[in-house]
Each structure stands twice: as C-alpha cells, then as structure tokens.
Amino acid sequence: MNNDAPRVVIGIDLGTTNSLAAIWEDNAPKVLAPDGLSAMVPSVVHVPKEGNPVVGSAAKAQTLVNPEHTVFSVKRMMGRGLDDLDLNHNPLPFAVAEDGRKLARVDLHGKLWTPQELSAWILVGVLEHARQATGAEIAAAVITVPAYFDDAQRQATRDAARIAGLEILRIINEPTAASLAYGLGQSEPQTVAVFDLGGGTFDVSLLSIEDGVFQVLATNGDTRLGGDDFDQTLVQLAKEELAGQVPAELFQDPAFLSAARLAAEKCKQALSSDPEAEMHLALPEYDLNWRRRVTRQEFETLIQPLVERTLQSCRRALADAELTTDQIDEVVLVGGSTRVPLVRAKVEELFGRKPHTALNPDHVVALGAAVQAHVLTGGTRDVLLMDVTPLSLGVETMGGAVSKMIERNSTIPCSHTEGFSTYAEGQTGIDFHVVQGERELAADCRSLGRFELKGIPPMPAGMARVGVRFAIDADGVLTVSAKEESTGTSSSIEFNPMHGLTDGEVERMLDEGFENAQADFDQRRVVDLHTELGTMLAAIARSMDAAQANLDPESLEDLTETVQAAEEAQNSQDLAQVQAVRDRLEQASLPLAAILMDGVVREAITGKKLDEV
C-alpha cells in the first residue's frame, strides 16, 4: 500500500460469473481496466495446496486442470445452505459441506472455506484491478447485490467486504444501479422496468423516476435462476446423449463436470450471434471426444421454461405495483444472459417495446454503483435512491403463524414496532423466531434466526408488554431490538442470521485469510518506522552539542544509549522491537527538546520589553 497515493471511491458489481469496478471521472462513470486487460475479473477462485488463493483469469485457467480446488459461482452460495443449492440436480466439481449452523462451506484441501471468504478474495482481485487502473488506493466502495437478496445474503456480502478490508459506503440493488447508469428520468418523469438476468440470479424491478428521485415500486425475482441454469440444459443434453457410451460414474467426475460446463457456456455464447454452434467435450484421459451441433431453435426450446419463469416474476412485480405494461415507459436489460436472443424477444413481447441495450449489459451495474459512490461522497449530482425490501419480515407467533412486521416492497430505510406479551404465568423470557417470506406459516418461510429476550419481570400471563422493533437500513440489512414497556426494562439482543457469520468468525477469517496481507502491512510499518527513526536521529545529531552542554548527566546518558539502540534498530525487521525503540527515543529526547525550546524562546524575547512580547 502506498501512503502517498491518492484515495478514491468506486462502484463494484460483485457478480456470479464476472466482477468489475467503475469510477466517476470527468463527469461520467467509467469501468476500470488496467492497460491491456479486460475490465472483467472472472469470479473464480483457485486455492492451491500451499500459498494464497488465485483469483480471476488465472484461476479460471485452472478450472479444467484442477477442478476440485477451483470454485466458481460463489455468489449463489452466499447466505445459503445445502438444501438451497440443490446439488443433486446441479452437481459441482468441488466438494460442498455444511456446518452446524447449516452454512454452506467449500472443502478445499481439507479446509472448509465459507462463501464469504471466497468472495473476499474475488473482491481483493477486483480492488487490485482497480488500483492498477487508477494508480490510487481504494478508500471505500458501493457494492451491488441482486434486489431479491434476502437479509442473510446481504449480510454475507458485507462480511465478505470486511474480510477483504474494504469499507462499504452502501449496498444498493443491481436494477437500481442500472437505472442510475442510464440516467433515466432526467428530462421527464418515467416508470422504468429493469430486467436483470445474470449468471446466477434474476431480478426485475419497477421504478418511478422523477427529478432525480429513484423510487422502487416493486421488485421480484429468483436468486437461483441465471445463465448457469441455461448452461445446465446443454450439460443435461450432453449427459443424455452420452448415456450408455461412457460409465455412469463419469457424470459425477469433477473433470467431466468442469469440462461440460465450459463447453456448454461456450456453445450458449456462440448461439447468441449464430444460428447454430458446436458443443465440443474432450476428455482424453477418458477417451472422450464428443461433438454435437446445436441449433438456436433447439437451445431456445430447452431454455423456454427458464425464460418463462423470468416473465412470471415480471408479471408478479407489475401486479404488486398495480401497473400494466402500457404504463411502463422504458425497459432496461442488465446482465450478460440478456444477450440470449430469446430473452430479448420475450421481454420485448411482454412489455410491448424494445428494451434499452445501448450500454454493455455486463458493465451497466458497476457504472451505476460508481454514480452512487460519487453521490455519497459529495458529488454534485442530485440523486436520491428509495429502494424497497424484496420480501416480508416477521416473527413466528403461537401456533406457528407469522406476524408480518415489515411488508415486502416497503421503502427502505424503514422500521416497525409491534407489541408482544407472555403466554405463561411468571414468564421471564420470550423466544422470537425471525422469518422472511410471504407464506402465512413460519414453517413455509425462510428462517433468518432466533433471539431470546431475557429479564422480563415475573407477572401474570399477558401482562408484560414487549415492544419489538424491526429496522432495515439503507443497505437492506436487518436489525432487531426489544424493550419491556410496562416496567421500562430494556434488553439488548444479538441477532445473527442462521446463514451469516458472527463477528468472531469474521475476525478469525481476517486473521487467517490475510496472513500475507498482515505481513505486508507490518513490513510497511517497519519501513515507515525506519524512516521516522532516521529523521529523529538526524535532528538529535544536529543538536548533540547543546545536549552535551545543557543536559544533566543522567538524561545525557539515557539519550546516548537510546541513540545507539535506535541506530542498531534501523537494521532490524522486528516490528515490535523497532516500535519500542522509536517510542523510547521519543521519550529520551524530550529533555533535549525542552532545552532547545527554551533557547528559542530566550532568543525571541532577548532585548524586548515586556509589552513587546
């Protein structure tokens, strides 16, 4: 890290397939790409047996060579458990396990890595990309997430940034960022639909934009639907045609899974521009060299049910906002998967108008994040975001029902307080189960976590009055607090999503995951201290005659010995030792500093009258 380098704020699109950064520069947002390199950083992490993880293109190159230790689509695992990942239908070449709190972890060389840790390394890669492009240190960032990310997934994103040592200015929804990038609504009020189909997630958001105020009217989506699923239809096609020709166990082999996924992705991309393309799957070690021509029409038949799921989400969002397609002024396409011709055609058919495609769909989210970063750091652009929470939040009540505290599509930040009571005589605590979702029974909703309020004074059932407050901040992150109202007794509660990380775990990951980063920091600190010692020693050397003439013997001896220790410490790489010597030298030189200051004062007042001083 260079202390003299300027510090800038950026926008980051932490994507399923690729991630990238953008910055506000010369009155416009622009993506950051070092000379000769792409702006896109593949969201892939390769973990070698020894040394630090490798990120980006270098990691992606390991996908076929070392599939068991190369992780992709980390974003789909954020804040999720094994049941959410549906590995039976979508097997992965690397091993995924689950800890005691049902948090998905990736087993790499016998160590269990959380998605937050792996995402942190992707962020580190993006930050390094940004540093190379700007020549500046990154002070902070706005990070985007899918609009349909729930509380656990948003908290997981914040944890990843903390582990990466990155300050988050704000978390904003990807569709909202896209609207900012296009600068829609600048000339006249508009209602905009943002259709965001990425590698692993899908969102649709409806926004009202007027006079720089971006208000989200409704959002809907699916965090388990994206381009990866389009790829899987082609992988399944390959499996069906190879069945009987190869051993069945080959379909579970990491090498086959990685090769098939990459072949499917390449074929899919080619079909966006060509009427047909070849899917080629080669595994020499298994004597497999399979080729298959796939037409665009055949591919569209395979993905039609997936595309229809995106359209159903659009219809639900329209219903929630009480809008018809005729009331939508503009449609914006976001995410690389919107390049698929069938997707574009179906979106145009649904909304009855051609969507905006002027900006690169892979770049548009990062560009919008850069706009918001500029606004939050004092930029002159007059923009106000009014986002919404995608799912309702509530608590389980007696009998397993759900009491909704914050309804879906509520504008954030927001809060709501509701009263609860005890149901047993002398009850001194209440156990709250926090859930997210639209179903009426807690068992059918997603569990975010539990907390217990203790310290309620014993009293008859139903007499205690406990006010429970749900609050969602501007990042969409939930906090919960409670207070016993009848006596004024309050109690703090700790709320950790079941799929989130505790502060202790984050701190441990900071220590474990970035040992080299800490070593680099320590080394830089040693260099800085050496420089500081050199400056102090030079100043003392210039004043040594004054020291010998005016210091008492004890102070002079202390100073002389400390100067010698400081000269020796300039060759030491031990941070603690160098720091200790520097502090000791500062103390030992205080009597000399006092003598020198006295001399300066005497010289300043010599020959002057009292009223001239």
Q: Which residues are catalytic?
A: 13, 75, 174, 196
Chain centroid offset of residue 479 CA: 18
- The DSSP-derived string for 133-193 is HHSSEEEEEEEEE-TT--HHHHHHHHHHHHHTT--EEEEEEHHHHHHHHHTTTSSS-EEEE
Angle at 301 between CA 298 and CA 306, to 5 degrees: 135
Backbone angles phi, psi at 386, to 5 degrees: -125, 85
557, HSE (Cβ side, Cα atoms, 13 Å): 3
Contact criterion met (CB below 8 Å) for 428 and 258: no
Tell which residue, 177, 117, 118, 115, has the closest CA to residue 143.
Answer: 177
Q: Which residue has the tokens 């009491």?
A: 403
CA atoms of 330 and 78, how far apart (whole Å):
31
Q: For residues 347 and 325, is the Cβ–Cβ distance under 8 A?
A: no
Determine how β-strand 490-491 pairs with β-strand 446-454. Answer: unpaired
Give the whole-angstrom CA distance, residue 35 versus residue 20: 15
- 3-class secondary structure, 533: helix
Reduced to 3 states (helix: H, G, I; strand: E, B; else coil), residue 110 is coil
Side by side, which strands form the sheet with 95-98? 95-98, 104-108, 111-113
As a whole number of angstroms, the distance between CA 612 and CA 44 comes to: 73
Other C-beta atoms closer than 10 Å to the C-beta of 19 total 27
Which residues neighbour 455 within 8 Å (Cβ) at sequence distance 6 or greater?
A: 428, 429, 484, 489, 491
User: At residue 8, what is the residue type?
Assistant: V
C-alpha pair distances (Å), 119 with each of 142, 508, 562? 15, 16, 47
Q: Quick check: helix, strand or coil at residue 276?
A: strand
> In terms of DSSP bridges, do strands 446-454 and 402-406 run parallel, antiparallel, or are they unpaired?
unpaired
**514 contacts 160 by C-beta, under 8 angstroms:** no
